[in-house]
Amino acid sequence: MRVTERPRHVPVLLDRILELFAPALTDRDAVLVDATLGLGGHADALLSAHPRLTLVGLDRDPHALALSAERLARHGDRVHLVHTVYDGLPEALSGLGLSRVEGVLFDLGVSSMQLDVPERGFAYARDAPLDMRMDPTTGPTAADVLNTYSHGDLARVLRDYGEERFAGKIAKAVLVERDRAPFTTSARLVELLYSVLPAPSLRTGGHPAKRTFQALRIEVNAELDVLRRAIPAALTALAVGGRIVVESYQSLEDRIVKRAITALAHSTAPPDLPVELPEHAPQLRLITRGAEMADERETEHNSRAQSVRLRAAERIREAP
């Protein structure tokens, strides 16, 4: 794909995200980190809505950064793009001479661009190389995982990251098949899943490859490990009055986000302490009640919004 080619991209819950960030960004000099820049749809809208905003955009995908640089060029020196995984947020800010920001946005999971480019191997609906790396310049591919992992390790990945009930059965079939020939493309894996999974499971729960492809993608990109480091780092970087907004697309991501945010939204004072000391007071105020979902109008307009879970919080006390 050439840099000038732009896949179709509709930012998820854009209006809601603009609404959530407005109190922290309106009529002031502010810095926001888009930790998962992608094609820059959210970033472009935020920069347009807030003329005094400086945006730091992070992405591990160099092609996404090139496309976003083109899209955001009209905002000039208010945009700083950094090629890094989102747990590299502290180093990215330090490199720009920043320590505190007024906003952090995470739009997790695979991007529209990565799904729409067949050779990236993220989509099970089309035959493509089993790659799935968000940064295609480094690291093992999904094919490497399938062709080298032991039965136990592969079953663990499918069970823990894909919540696949038949993880052991699939792993056993993969080992048998790879002895005949290594896995290289998605169509062969999808065919194996159709042959291995019980008939009743094929009739419910969506495409039979969905869970396996999700698990492989998470493993290849170490997504959950990165997220466990990135959310606390982002919360630490928030200035008082700053806001964090996170869009997750599956329960494993959302669980990590929920735990990190809610842990700082409650007092840490011992139950028998008569007076709450300042150091025990909550650091965050939850803005959303639980995880917000997209409404019917949003999902009709943007199919990617069907599984979104949005959480937001505001820093109310300086981080220790």
Residues that constitute the known binding site: 40-42, 59, 86, 107, 114
| Residues listed for the chain | 320
Residue stretches of the annotated binding site for S-adenosyl-L-methionine: 40-42, 59, 86, 107, 114
Q: Residue 244's beta-bridge partner residues?
A: 104, 313
Q: What is the C-alpha radius of gyration for the chain, rounded to an integer number of angstroms?
A: 21
Answer whether 40's CB lies under 8 Å from 46's CB.
no
Answer whether 151's CB lies under 8 Å from 175's CB.
yes
Q: What is the dihedral of CA 92, 98, 104, 108, to 10 degrees?
A: 0
Backbone angles phi, psi at 82, to 5 degrees: -130, 130
Answer whether 44's CB lies under 8 Å from 71's CB.
yes
The residue assigned the tokens 């006390």 is: 317
